[in-house]
Structure 1
Amino acid sequence: MSVLDEAVEVREGESLDLNKVDQYLKQVLPDLEGPLTVKQFPGGASNLTYLLQYLNRDLILRRPPFGRVAKSAHDMIRESNIMQALRPVYPFVPTVLAQCEDHDVMGCDFYVMERLVGIIPRQEMPKEVTLSEAETRQLCLNVIDKLLELHQVDYKKAGLEGIGKGEGYVKRQIEGWSDRYVKAMTDDAISFETVMAWLKDKMPDDVGTCIIHNDYRFDNVVLNPENPFDIIGVLDWEMATLGDPLMDLGNSLAYWVQADDDPQFQFMRRQPTHLKGMLTREAVIDYYLGKSGLPQTSFDFYEIYGLFRLAAIIQQLYYRYFNGQTKDKRFAGFVHAGRYLEQRCLKLIEKSTL
């Protein structure tokens, strides 16, 4: 078994026109040799990621999901442009090799980037990667440090002032995700009315403006296979923008399932944050605030926001499945996950001192 992240056969309904893709790529990358073969990476639930293999080179292709989608939610050209502008100042961004707006090729915008060959820490670490408790802690700290480094990038010098509106981010997110959740409601979904009202009432001012990833997780980082403490890449920049760093951390902690969490949350775990040596959510917050220089503050709002935002994303994906816009069976049970996340939010609200 390989420790490297492996692609599999393309899912039903998500195949590509190999002839058109091959013809396009050999025009923009004329050094490519031999026939094109395509596989798909099984992770991720939004934009689709494919492994393109030629005799002399492997590439990664990113495209929006199939079916009717809002371009603003899956803007591949924006994602590609952000990556290209960010890479000189944050070298963990993969190199973009081509971006295509010609819909004759695939019926949508897409881009192609270099393949970073490495380990992606998904639900379980590969069995071949054996880390002690102390080593696991160090890996955990290294991953958090890369988020801190991103938040410290001078976005003005990088020419990235235009990727987001900046000030007023907290308010826009609460209003925006509330609106998106309501629009994605299905007959069997939970309302989240109490949670949305609490978030609207408790909104703090922005603590600052920086480049935020908006989907920063262990399964979006790539580790050096020769040295798993060395992070060689950060993936999935589709939601990157200018915003509040604590909102970004709140988003990350929504996926941070620790060892003592209840079985339902454990079932949703998609990264190895349960391992001995991994920081708890509370310890992550303390570490981040200590290194960032931001004031120590109650994190209740940001944690509840992160969980609600995750529920809204899940409901949007379930809405597509519910209405037959995708055949991806992974989404079939997402409505149950939404119900659980509402209960988790309500328990945190009950305990909150805000």
Structure 2
Amino acid sequence: MDTNALAAFLDEQLGDHQPIAVEAMTGGGSCEVFSLDRGDDHWVLRRAPAHANTSRAHDVLREYRILAALEGAAVRVPRPIVACDDTRIFATPFYVMERIDGVPVRNGIPAAWADAPETQHRAVEELIDALVEVHAVDWRAVGLTDLGRAEGFLERQVERWLAQLASYGGRDLPAAHGIGRWLDAHRPAGQAPTLFHGDYKLDNVLYATDAPPRLLAVVDWEMGTIGDPLIDLAWALIFHPVGGTMPLGTSGPHTFALDQLPSAEAMVARYAERSGRDVSSIDWYHVFSRWKGAIVLEGSFAKWQRGESNKAVHEHFGPQADRLLLSAAALIDGRPGGAP
């Protein structure tokens, strides 16, 4: 990274001259993430990876647009600082936002939560409450009308994800096609479109590390669009520590006390009560989310099979995709193992 070019850009945009310090950070999903200190300010810089294709390269600008639109709204997001689409500086677009002093929940949980298990329910309740806030945004009023194609969103999903699966050129996965047919045949009317995160889960939000758990910010908006809010809800529940098919916060040095957490059904009920939405069709969304999750995992597994990924974990994504498809099929059939 050319820190001199970055410093000059910031000086030009922000109207003063301050020294900067930049350090790579872990996490960030598909983007490269850096801590950025400038004078007394502490920020985060997110940029598209250098090998990104054109559409991926502009995901960071999409994120910035969403954060900027949400500034002042009743949604917990980092404050955006500045964005840059001039590829002469880094070769890829980037943006800068405030640094939130919080952590995601991936493998384990903060030690303070482990020491106060009776408060842990707040972590998942806050997750639901913050999602209700996201879905309550008047996306037209904040200037996000053209963020996505709201009309026909749910109708497009099966075709969109089967096309994604076909693009891998890997395993055929007949179960994925069979479940796709079921999803099309049983698709509900859907919900009124809302601002849609697209990858909402415990490790795409940041929590304070003290107890009781407090959700500070929703991050990683590169999949954000206008869509059906119940997909966000069902996707989050795949990762629910209690009964989720890919549970988070259950394998670190400090883990959730599962008997202290509400069930997935209780979380759906909380969402319904606080959002006022009809969730009677949620089982369809549970099937869809497991099916979609399998297709997402299969993409990384296909790369590993072709020798295009050196991440050892991707070898296990194929079997994990198979388990998600089995879970989706069991939910369709009402068998044990299909419950959210």
Question: 1:311-350 counterparts in 2 under 5 A?
Answer: 311-323=294-306, 327-350=310-333
Alignment match of 1:269 (pick from 221, 228, 247): 247
* 1:125 CA drift (Å): 0.6
- Quote the Cα distance in structure 2 between the aligned partners of 1:136 and 1:22: 42
Tell me what 1:171 maps to: 155
Q: Of residues 261, 268, 279 in structure 2, which corresponds to 1:285?
A: 268
Do the aligned residues in 2 keep the contact of 1:96 with 1:112 (CA within 8 Å)?
A: yes
Residue 190 of structure 1 is matched in structure 2 by 173
Which residue of structure 1 lines up, in the alignment, with residue 293 of structure 2? 310
* Compared CA separation, residues 35 and 78, structure 1 to 2 (3 A): closer
Deviation for aligned residue 1:321: 4.6
Greater Cα offset, 333-342 or 52-61:
52-61
Structure 1: give runs of 5+ residues left out of the alignment.
1-15
Q: 2:239 aligns with which of 237, 247, 255?
A: 255
* CA gap 1:323/1:66 in 2 versus in 1, 3 angstroms: farther
Q: Verify: 1:213 aligned to 2:191, yes or no.
A: no
**Counterpart amino acid of 1:84?**
A
Unaligned runs of 5+ in 2: 251-255
Query: Is the contact made by 2:204 and 2:218 (CA closer than 8 Å) also made in structure 1?
Result: yes
C-alpha separation in 1, matches of 2:209 and 2:15: 30
Structure 2 equivalent of residue 38 of structure 1: 23
Identity within the alignment, %:
27
CA–CA separation in structure 1 for the residues paired with 2:113 and 2:238: 25
The SS at the match of 1:158 is coil
Taking structure 2 as the reference length, what is the TM-score of the superposition?
A: 0.85
Residue pair 2:28, 2:220 contacting (<8 A) in 1 also: no
Q: CA deviation at 1:135?
A: 1.4
Cα RMSD (Å): 2.8
Equivalent residues of 2:153, 2:228 under 8 A apart = yes
2:284 is the alignment partner of 1:301: yes
Cα deviation for residue 23 of structure 1 reads 4.2
**Which residue of structure 1 aligns with residue 217 of structure 2?**
233
How many residue pairs get aligned? The number is: 330
Indicate how the Cα distance of structure 1 residues 89 and 339 shifts in structure 2: closer, same or farther if over 3 A, else same: same
* 1:112-171 C-alpha deviation (Å, 9 max, x unpaired): 111111233332112233354441123322221111121112222222211122232211
Give the direction of change, closer, same or farther, for the CA distance of 1:320–1:51 in structure 2 (3 Å limit). farther
